[in-house]
Amino acid sequence: MVTILGSSLLFALLKRSANGYVRESAILILSLCLFIISPISIWMDDPHMTGYVNPTIWHSPTYNALRLFIVPVSLLSLRIVDGSRYRDVNQRIFFLLLTASLISLATLAKPSNLIALIPGLCLLVAYRVVKSQPVDWALLFLGIILPGAVLLALQYLITYEDGGGIQFGLFTLLRLWLPIWQIPIRLILSLAFPLSVYVLYFSEARKHTYLNMSWLIFFVGLGYMYFLTENSWRFYHSNFNWTAYSVIFALMYASVQFLVERRVAERRRKLQDGHGTRGRLSMRFAVVASLFGLHVIFGIIYFFRFQLFPV
C-alpha cells in the first residue's frame, strides 16, 4: 500500500518536472522503480544488507511510512535556498503550515530523516549567507527547525529515559560484522547511480541546487551511520542507519529529477532548432540508465529474498 501511495506521489512530482516532454509511461515506471531500488549487491548472504546504504527496507512499517514524506519535505526545504517567491502573504502562510505539518508527521513516523535534514540545511544556509545569497528564514525556522526541534527533544527524552545515550566512534558497529575494506566498496555499490549522474553530468550537476542540497544532506546522514551508535541495550539495533537510508532515498529521487529536467531541456532545445524531439541517447545517459536498471534488478531480488527469508 505504501509503495502504491509513494509511487503515485513521485509520479505527480516527476510529471510536473517533465512538463509534457517525457512520456507519462516512462515517468510511471521511474516512480515505481524508485520505491524498489536497492544497492548493487555483491555480497548477498546477509538479509540485513549490512554496510550497504539501502533506501528500500521492507520490514520496518515506521520507515516505510517515513518514505511517504521524505521527498515532499526535501522539495519544500529547497524553497529555503532556491530564491522562490510567494504570490502573497496567504501563499507564504500556506507553505509554512504545509512544511511544518509534513515535518511533524515525518518525525512522528521516524525522526531519522530530520536529524540529517536540519544540520544539512544549516550548512547550506551558512554557505549562502557567506555568498550573500537569499534565504527564506521564516520557512527554515518556523517550518522546519521549530516543529522539528520540539518533536526531536520529546522523542529523545522518551527514548533515553532509561539512562541510555549516544556515543561516537568510527565504524563502531559495522566493524563487528564486516572487514573495514568492504565498507567503502559497499558504499560505492549503494551510490552507483547517483554518483554516475553527478560525475558524468558534472558541469550541469554542480549548478543544480536541489541535487547539491541532496548530496550535502546525504553526507550528513552517512555520518550518523558511520560515526554514531547507542550505548545502551539498543547498541545492536543500528538505529542511526535509518538516517543514511532515508537520505539516500531523497538523493536517488533528486538524481532522477535532474535527469528528467535534462531531458526536458534537450527536447526544448531541439524543438527550438527545428529538429523535433527525437534523437539518439548519449553514451553517458546510457551508462546512468544501465546503473539505475541494476539498482532496480537488485531491488527486485532483495524483495523476493525478503519474502522467502523475512528478517
- Using CA atoms, how far apart are residues 165 and 111, in angstroms rounded to an integer? 16
Mean pLDDT, residues 32-42: 92
Mean pLDDT of the chain: 90
Dig out the grid coordinates for 30 from the structure.
521511474
Closest by Cα among 134, 153, 146, 16 to 71: 16
Across the chain, the runs of DSSP E, i.e. the strands, are 166-168, 228-230
Q: For residue range 47-73, what is the model confidence (pLDDT) as tens digits? A: 778 899 999 998 889 999 999 999 999
C-alpha cell at position 147: 516543529
Residue 45 vs residue 116, higher pLDDT: 116
Q: What is the mean pLDDT of residues 187-211?
A: 96
pLDDT score of 221 more than 90: yes
pLDDT, tens digit, 9 for 90 and up, residues 77-86: 999 999 888 9
Q: Where are the alpha helices (DSSP H) in 35-113?
A: 61-78, 89-109
- Asked if residue 261 lies in contact with residue 197, where contact means CB atoms within 8 angstroms, the answer is no
Task: Read off the pTM.
Answer: 0.93
Residue 230's SS3 state is strand
> Can you give the pLDDT at residue 275?
60
- The kind and range of the H/E element at 259 are helix 241-272
Q: 9, 25, 40, 48: which is closest to 296 by C-alpha?
A: 40
Report the C-alpha gap between 147 and 299 in whole angstroms.
Answer: 34
d(C-alpha 122, C-alpha 24), whole Å: 36
pLDDT tens figures, 263-278: 888 888 877 766 655 5
Residue carrying the nine cell digits 549567507: 129
Q: Tell me the C-alpha distance between 169 and 165, whole Å.
A: 14
Using one digit for the tens of pLDDT, what is the confidence trace for 98-135? Answer: 999 999 999 999 999 999 999 999 999 999 999 999 99
Nearest CA among 217, 191, 208 for reference residue 77: 217
